[in-house]
Amino acid sequence: MTDTPRPGQATPELSAQYAPGEVEQRRYEQWVADGLFKADAGSDKPPFSIVLPPPNVTGSLHIGHALDHSVQDALTRRKRMQGYETLWLPGMDHAGIATQNVVERQLAADGLSRHDLGREAFVERVWQWKQESGGKILGQMTRLGDSVDWSRERFTMDAGLSRAVLTIFKRLFDDGLIYRAERIINWCPRCLTALSDIEVEHSDDDGELVSIRYGDGENAIVVATTRAETMLGDTAVAVHPDDERYQHLIGTEVELPLTGRRIPIVADAHVDPAFGTGAVKVTPAHDPNDFEIGQRHDLPSLTIMDDHGVITVHGPFLGLDRFEARPAVVAALRAEGRIVAEKRPYMHAVGHCSRCNTTVEPRLSLQWFVRTEPLARAAGDAVRDGRVRVEPPELTKRYFGWVDNMHDWCISRQLWWGHRIPVWYGPNGEVVCVGPDDEVPAGDGWTQDADVLDTWFSSALWPFSTLGWPDETPDLAKFYPTSVLVTGYDILFFWVARMMMFGLYAMDGRQPFDVVMLHGMVRDQYGKKMSKSFGNVVDPLDWIERFGADATRFTLLRGANPGADVPVSEEWVQGARNFANKLWNATRYGLANGATVEGELPTEDLSTVDRWILSRLQHVIGEVDQQFEAFELAKVCDTLYHFAWDDVCDWYLELTKPVLTGDDEAAKARTRRVLGHVLESLQRLLHPIMPFVTEELWTTLTGRPTVVRAEWPTPDKELADDSAEREVENLQRVVTEVRRFRADQGVKPAQRVVARLEGLAAAGLAAHEGLMRSLARLDAAGGDFAATAKLAVGVGVTVELDTRGAIDVAAERARLTKDQAAAEKEAAQCRAKLGNPAFTGKAPEAVVAKIRERLETAEADLARVAAQLEALQ
């Protein structure tokens, strides 16, 4: 093998194996130092922008982030190479409850509560925590290779974003889209705050349905409940207006057991006469349905629990926790003989706090709400009229289901960490909403609302608040609307719909993003959800450490088609690591054989093999582009994997060996140039997926500074060459068939077999005899040649081999007989089909032709096998 370094350049050296750890840190630091990820709002280039879904400040990088970020980075890096002015904006979410819980736990370790510190000191303490231990995840992002613009990092509580929050709150307030009201809300008795619908998770819990008789004699009415303790707050019993059984009771009163209170029996269409007894106890202060019934019938609301879920009424139960009160109330009722049916198990959906899993208590409470109806309608319309595209489209149904049925959004939280509600109450009942540039009311008796806003309120502003809104900044002008939002389908409703509502509202009807790309969840190799208790959780940092960031990314992206869950396993990441190594060694081969990227790509006198690989490359570029535009990153990975491994490594590199070790210097120079082009193109194509190894290889191969801003390949139609592709395919068939024969016959790979090739000229393969001999390890027939085996390989080429002493005739005959039977069956099927007038009459001509072709092939196979059998005699 010759070793001819490029003029004026030292021979680059690569070790035999790729060692990612050595490369990654060095490369990332250089990229940042060179400002390669920085966006320029003043550029003339077309914009491409993504805002990173802000991770919680309490979070650290888990495998789901790794997937999410890998997708965004791949999209961003490709667009950057395509010449777009590219911004990927990073940042974090202040994560109200989650963060407050973390700091409260720290305090609890010292025996303190947040109330011991007081509000101001507590918030100060949280900020301090954030400075010291928050935001670990941002550092971890560098390990993945995220090409984010660090100069634009934002935090939902920083000054600019807080101003955006105040601005939009004020605007919504003035438009009558924010209001304060007493409503049934989800209350977490542990976090001591209201929760929105999306912060409540439903699970089917075991409950017990008990039937209780209210009243006596003629007036008795039986109700059923799973929450017996709430009967203490009942202010009515409701029945369906048409329910025959209770006509005589409607409008009367009944005595509520244990309390001595008399409550009315009302008729309400909400009641399902078929469920239970058809009579419902009504507790307006502790059940959303009951609240509405209460509103319709002007019933009083009687609150029976405090913030902690402790009973506040009725002597015997006073001070009991809600779960203690339940059996206590049942026992007391039983003592009075009012339990008319034994308790029976009952599975029903119960809400739990998404932060601490405490059972949520529906509770009447004075809170702030966003009136979502007009906002949600606009959010739905933007998708309906095609301004925003959802990938995969199937998920639009879920999106509509959500935005079209949205309840008003409870936005006040009884927490201290967050954006404080900018409303002040005056001594005479004044309510003043204070915008960012307004004077805060001063004087005696003015107090600010104590609550803070739901965390999702500020994250809903993320696509524009991070770009400088409400100011008309160059960033906002250049990068809004953002190009694509990438996130998991699990937060389509939580977050995406809210960004749509606020984006359309704040930006005068302009959508926050053009495309929503939803990926799936990362799962284990059996498709199981990852969970700590199951022990199947993968730590991406561990994988990056052991297999490299590129291998980790490739493993994730290889499953990342829109909407699809992504199973991963250690075996698979090993495979990806092997792939990185394969690329590494292909480039090593190129470097050792003088592959070059200097000078024009030759077009004259190219070998068939060179024309073939260039043609394949054009197809691959086209395919990859299509797949990228459809966000089908799994397919991108698959296409490039097979091109790199099968076409380039297994065939092309092998096929260049005779030329590159030969002595035709002109031919060698051409192939070196083509080889250099193919390798560096492949590296550019793979860079969005595997940034580190491609950077290392590309810079080494080309001597240029970085592939990060290298030009993305475009297909060159001039280089497409069908005849070269066909020729090489035929060559491959010959080689493969001979290899198969050798393997079946147990001929050692190293053993040269003497052979004669016939029919090459007719098959158009005359020029490639040397290549085929080299790949199939066939020597030219010499003087004592005796054809002991004859191989017809299907493209009109016959190989006669001298395998004296090397083959097992009986085994080969058995195999050929099997082949013969298969070919006969195939031929028979095709003949039957072609003999069927219904088929030939109705099927498209192309299909019929295809069947004819199959028949020809089958017949040729039959002839081939027959010839081989004969030769074996």
88 binds RNA (CB under 7 A): no
d(CA 261, CA 254): 8
Which one among 110, 204, 437, 629 touches RNA, defined by CB under 7 A? 204
CB of 49 vs RNA, minimal distance in Å: 28
Q: Which neighbouring-strand residues pair with 362? A: 186
User: Which residues are CB-contacts of 426 (< 8 A; sequence separation ≥ 6)?
Assistant: 432, 441, 445, 446
CB of 119 vs RNA, minimal distance in Å: 32
287 binds RNA (CB under 7 A): yes
Give the three-state DSSP class for 656. helix
Nearer to RNA, 315 or 844 (CB): 844
Contact between residue 518 and residue 392 where contact means Cβ atoms under 8 Å apart: yes
Q: Tell which positions 824-843 bind RNA, by CB under 7 A.
A: 829-830, 832-833, 836, 838-839, 842-843
Nearer to RNA, 468 or 563 (CB): 563
Q: Taking the C-alpha atoms of 725, 726, 728 and 732 in order, what is their torsion angle to the nearest 10 degrees?
A: 130
394 binds RNA (CB under 7 A): yes
Q: Which stretch binds RNA (CB under 7 A): 126-134, 196-204, 330-338, 415-423?
A: 196-204
d(CA 406, CA 409): 8
Contact between residue 644 and residue 550 where contact means Cβ atoms under 8 Å apart: no
CB of 776 vs RNA, minimal distance in Å: 9
Pattern of binders to RNA over 35-74, x per CB under 7 A?
A: ----------------------------------------
CB of 503 vs RNA, minimal distance in Å: 21
Nearer to RNA, 324 or 654 (CB): 654
User: Which residues are CB-contacts of 107 (< 8 A; sequence separation ≥ 6)?
Assistant: 113, 114, 116, 117, 125
Count of all residues that appear for the chain in the document: 873
271 binds RNA (CB under 7 A): yes
Q: Tell which positions 778-807 bind RNA, by CB under 7 A.
A: none
Q: Tell which positions 342-361 bind RNA, by CB under 7 A.
A: 348-349
3-state helix, strand, coil in the chain (%, to 5): 45, 15, 35
Nearer to RNA, 71 or 280 (CB): 280
Q: Which stretch binds RNA (CB under 7 A): 2-10, 431-439, 615-623, 634-642?
A: 634-642
Which one among 208, 744, 824, 859 touches RNA, defined by CB under 7 A? 744
Q: Taking Cα atoms as reference points, which of 403, 385, 597 lies closest to residue 496?
A: 403
CB of 214 vs RNA, minimal distance in Å: 12
Q: What is the 3-state secondary structure (H, E, C) of 31-45?
A: HHHCCCCCCCCCCCC
Q: Tell which positions 505-534 bind RNA, by CB under 7 A.
A: 523, 525-527, 529
Pattern of binders to RNA over 567-586, x per CB under 7 A?
A: x---xx-xx-xx-xxx--xx
Q: Taking Cα atoms as reference points, which of 368, 380, 354 lies closest to residue 198?
A: 354
Which one among 119, 245, 704, 740 touches RNA, defined by CB under 7 A? 740
Which one among 749, 783, 805, 835 touches RNA, defined by CB under 7 A? 749
CB of 273 vs RNA, minimal distance in Å: 7
Which one among 25, 142, 226, 259 touches RNA, defined by CB under 7 A? 226
Which one among 92, 280, 621, 801 touches RNA, defined by CB under 7 A? 280
560 binds RNA (CB under 7 A): no
- CA distances to 259, 456, 530, 542, 571 from 527, in Å: 54, 30, 9, 21, 15
258 binds RNA (CB under 7 A): no
| Structure-token match 């193919």, residue found | 678
704 binds RNA (CB under 7 A): no
Nearer to RNA, 519 or 523 (CB): 523
Which one among 126, 178, 198, 816 touches RNA, defined by CB under 7 A? 198
294 binds RNA (CB under 7 A): no
d(CA 251, CA 264): 6
650 binds RNA (CB under 7 A): yes
Nearer to RNA, 465 or 627 (CB): 627
d(CA 410, CA 178): 10
746 binds RNA (CB under 7 A): yes
Q: Which stretch binds RNA (CB under 7 A): 268-276, 666-674, 705-713, 796-804?
A: 268-276
Q: Which stretch binds RNA (CB under 7 A): 305-313, 452-460, 595-603, 637-645?
A: 637-645
Token representation of residue 136: 């670990």
d(CA 495, CA 460): 7
Which alpha helices (DSSP H) does 703-756 contain, by range?
A: 722-744
662 binds RNA (CB under 7 A): no
Element (H, E) at 188: strand 178-188
CA angle 627, 632, 634 (to 5 degrees): 110
Read off the DSSP letter of residue 777.
T
Which one among 136, 397, 825, 852 touches RNA, defined by CB under 7 A? 397
CB of 153 vs RNA, minimal distance in Å: 30
Q: Which stretch binds RNA (CB under 7 A): 91-99, 300-308, 421-429, 736-744?
A: 736-744
Give the three-state DSSP class for 519. strand
Q: Which stretch binds RNA (CB under 7 A): 116-124, 270-278, 364-372, 755-763?
A: 270-278
Pattern of binders to RNA over 462-491, x per CB under 7 A?
A: ----------------------------x-
- The type of residue at 7 is P
Contact between residue 419 and residue 395 where contact means Cβ atoms under 8 Å apart: no
Q: Which stretch binds RNA (CB under 7 A): 135-143, 279-287, 752-760, 858-866?
A: 279-287
Q: How many residues bind RNA (CB under 7 A)?
A: 94
d(CA 97, CA 416): 9
Nearer to RNA, 80 or 742 (CB): 742
Pattern of binders to RNA over 839-868, x per CB under 7 A?
A: x--xxx--x--xx-----------------
Read off the DSSP letter of residue 604.
T
Which one among 64, 233, 278, 503 touches RNA, defined by CB under 7 A? 278
Which one among 110, 159, 337, 405 touches RNA, defined by CB under 7 A? 405
272 binds RNA (CB under 7 A): yes
Give the three-state DSSP class for 649. helix
User: Which residues are CB-contacts of 189 (< 8 A; sequence separation ≥ 6)?
Assistant: 307, 308, 309, 322, 358, 361
Helix axes 608-629, 722-744, angle to 10 degrees: 100
Neighbours of 827 (CB within 10 A): 19
Q: Taking Cα atoms as reference points, which of 189, 144, 845 lies closest to residue 556?
A: 144
388 binds RNA (CB under 7 A): no
Q: Which neighbouring-strand residues pair with 223? A: 212
Omega within 30 of 0 (cis) for the link into 481: yes
Q: Tell which positions 1-20 bind RNA, by CB under 7 A.
A: 1, 16-19
Nearer to RNA, 601 or 843 (CB): 843
Q: Taking the alpha carbons of 346, 351, 352, 354 in that order, is the dihedral positive or negative?
A: positive
233 binds RNA (CB under 7 A): no
Q: What is the 3-state secondary structure (H, E, C) of 97-123?
A: HHHHHHHHHHHHHCCCCHHHHCHHHHH
Element (H, E) at 193: strand 193-195
Nearer to RNA, 354 or 448 (CB): 354
- CA distances to 71, 414, 658 from 779, in Å: 50, 85, 15
Pattern of binders to RNA over 140-169, x per CB under 7 A?
A: ------------------------------
CA angle 286, 289, 293 (to 5 degrees): 100
